[in-house]
Amino acid sequence: MTKIIKISKRGELAPDSPIRKLTRFAEEAKKEGIKIYHLNIGQPDLKVPSRIRTEIRKVSNIDYLPYTNSQGTKETLLSYSKYFHDIKVNYSPKEILITFGASEALIFAIAAICDPEDEIIAFEPFYANYLGFANLVSAKIIPVQLDAQENFHLPSQNKIVGKITDRTKAILFTNPNNPTGTVFRKYELQTILDIAKKYRLFIISDETYHGVSFKTKAISFMHLAKDLEQQQIIIIDSLSKRYNVCGARIGAIASKNLEIMSAVNRFAQERLSVGFIDQKIVTLELQNSLGDVKKITKIYQARRDAFLKTLEGELNIKTLYPEGAFYAMIKLPIKDSDEFAKWLLTNFRYKNETVMVAPGSGFYASPGKGKDEIRIAYVLGEEELKKAAKLLAIAVKQYNNSQHLRESK
């Protein structure tokens, strides 16, 4: 009998990223000479901070490029510890591991606490790649729905507790949030902490956008947790967005729990080391960066207003104003945002331009959700964003007209 060669279930089930899955249509449109306003991906257009630029110039003289310690270089670990100290979170270098962005930190955290089929509660809409990270270790994301009417703040405690089973290992929490931009309040973090304490769960706290909040300051679980509770907390951090260095691939995982740190350090030994140059160029900035983060936060707030006000005016709709990060989940008068997002790239052109957005459905685990939503990242200049909002409004009207025509045929 011939054996069938087959890939793993994990390989079959790995989801497409809603943020990147339409890239090939964008490439084709660009080949036609179409200008695309990229609102689909959270990649800041801002310059890297001057201290990092200076360091980049210095490393151009390097003629020896070694692996580093798997945990990270001594200097980067010390600097990360200093950053945490600046935001009033107490982590010594031995409680930190430097990772390839928050992405690797999340994969390590999930792998350290979950066996196959174990469950992690996450609030949807959530950062789409959480599904893929859990799938990598055959764990499951169990969604708790957030309501747009409540500006995507937490539902009642019962709704969260109702999702806990014998297999639940952790609650995954993102603050400030991507894709909604929600900044959760202190009482909401306390609710999560109380649940985690009562039901013996870990909290994986994704603080990738810490510092980027407009009116209400986002706090960390480490600001609230008492000594023993701190053992249940795993902080995920990233420099990608705060310092506009997505391409440097530097993030961190931090925890007071020595068993977790021992596990993730062994995972890290298996992948040997994070980039030597990447760590070198961010180390100085990490020691004193709060001022730079404040500056970019002001820029994002103005961009948010520029984009949403224009879109509201053009479409005569009301949108939610995100409280932090640089994303918005927007409800549009359309039936199928997956089809709409593709149509924008393949059919819609206005004066040789179009926009790229991420369809809402990819940010949900519940089937059928997000069909009338798109997620946008306001990572372009204000004038560009206003143009993109106008273009999006024209597209919505044209799309609905063409759909109406198709349906009446």
Residues engaged in binding ligand PLP (CB under 6 A):
42, 101-103, 127, 174, 178, 206, 208, 238, 240, 246, 251
User: Which C-beta is closer to ligand PLP: that of 278 or that of 396?
Assistant: 278
Write down the least CB distance from residue 99 to ligand PLP, Å: 8
- Give every strand in the sheet of 327-331, ordered side by side: 327-331, 373-377, 358-359
Write down the least CB distance from residue 158 to ligand PLP, Å: 26
Write down the least CB distance from residue 244 to ligand PLP, Å: 11
Write down the least CB distance from residue 400 to ligand PLP, Å: 30
Rounded Cα gap, residues 309 and 393, in angstroms:
12
User: Which C-beta is closer to ligand PLP: that of 206 or that of 285?
Assistant: 206
Write down the least CB distance from residue 250 to ligand PLP, Å: 8
Write down the least CB distance from residue 71 to ligand PLP, Å: 18
User: Which C-beta is closer to ligand PLP: that of 49 or that of 251?
Assistant: 251
User: Which C-beta is closer to ligand PLP: that of 130 or that of 214?
Assistant: 130
**Contact 234/253 with Cβ under 8 angstroms?**
yes
**Contact 285/49 with Cβ under 8 angstroms?**
yes
User: Which C-beta is closer to ligand PLP: that of 233 or that of 396?
Assistant: 233
Write down the least CB distance from residue 282 to ligand PLP, Å: 12
Which residue has the CB atom at the shortest distance from ligand PLP?
A: 101
User: Which C-beta is closer to ligand PLP: that of 109 or that of 391?
Assistant: 109
**Contact 116/137 with Cβ under 8 angstroms?**
yes
Rounded Cα gap, residues 192 and 89, in angstroms:
18
User: Which C-beta is closer to ligand PLP: that of 123 or that of 399?
Assistant: 123
User: Which C-beta is closer to ligand PLP: that of 182 or that of 238?
Assistant: 238
Residue showing tokens 């290992």: 169
Write down the least CB distance from residue 78 to ligand PLP, Å: 20
Closest CA to 204 of 260, 164, 247, 246: 260
